[in-house]
Amino acid sequence: MLPAELDREVERLAAERGSSKSGLITRLIRLGIAAQSGEGDPLLRYLGSLDGPPDLSETVDETVYQL
């Protein structure tokens, strides 16, 4: 069960993307699991992060992709 407000948001996003609610929820859960486990795009590890080195805008490739 989803809270009513979240359910409406999921329904709106699914409609915008031409997806079912179930399909969208499944995709978002998979992305969340990948982000938590460090799998997938390394950039997902930094999703929602506000902390980082002071020169992050200059060293983003080295920091994120460890180049």
In whole angstroms, how far apart are CA 47 and each of 6, 16, 43, 65, 66? 20, 22, 7, 14, 17
Domain ranges of the chain: 4-65
Contact 54, 63 (CB under 8 A): no
Token duo for residue 62: 């080295």
Read off the tokens for 64: 């994120």
List phi, psi (to 5°) of 18.
65, 35
**pLDDT by residue (tens digit) across 20-66?**
999 999 988 888 887 777 666 666 566 665 566 677 677 777 767 77
Please tell me the predicted confidence (pLDDT) of residue 65.
Answer: 76
Query: How many CA atoms, within 13 angstroms, populate the side-chain half-sphere of residue 17?
Result: 15
